[in-house]
Amino acid sequence: MIEIPTKIANLRLKNPTILASGIMDEDAGSMIRIFKSGAGAIVTKSIGLKPREGYPNPSVIELECGLLNAMGLPNPGIEEFKSEVIKLKKSKVTVIGSIFGSNSKEFTVLGTKMQDAGVNALELNMSCPHAKGYGLEIGSDQKIVEKITTNVKSSVSIPVFVKISPNLTDIPKIAQSAEKGGADAIVAINTVKAMKIDIETQRPILSNKIGGYSGKAIKPIGIRCVYEIYKKVNIPIIGVGGINTGEDAIEYMMAGASAVQIGSAIYSRDIYVFEKICKEIKNWMKTNNYKKIDELIGVANL
Task: State pLDDT tens for residues 213-244.
Answer: 999 999 999 999 999 999 999 999 999 999 99
Tally of CB atoms within 10 A around 226: 30
Amino acid at site 111: G
Instruction: Sort strands 237-240 and 259-262 into parallel, antiparallel or unpaired.
Output: parallel
Top mean pLDDT of 136-150, 221-235, 268-282 is at 221-235
Percent of the chain, pLDDT > 90?
A: 90
> Which residues of 46-191 form beta strands (DSSP E)?
60-63, 66-69, 95-99, 121-125, 160-164, 185-188
Q: Which domains does the chain have, with CATH numbers?
A: 6-301 (3.20.20.70)
Q: In what order do the strands lie in the sheet with 60-63?
A: 60-63, 66-69, 211-214, 192-194
Mean pLDDT of 72-91: 95
pLDDT at 270: 87
pLDDT at 2: 74
Q: Which region among 42-56, 235-249, 262-276 has the lowest average model confidence (pLDDT)?
A: 262-276
pLDDT at 135: 63
For residue 18, the cross-strand partners are 41, 261
pLDDT at 195: 96
Q: Closest by alpha carbon to 164, among 243, 261, 86, 248?
A: 261
pLDDT at 133: 66
The residues that are catalytic are: 128
Task: State pLDDT tens for residues 247-265.
Answer: 999 999 999 999 999 999 9
Asked whether the predicted pLDDT for residue 87 surpasses 80, the reply is: yes
Q: pTM for the whole thing?
A: 0.96
Which of the pair, 43 or 129, is modelled with greater confidence?
43
Task: State pLDDT tens for residues 186-221.
Answer: 999 999 999 999 999 999 999 999 999 999 999 999
Mean pLDDT of 258-280: 93
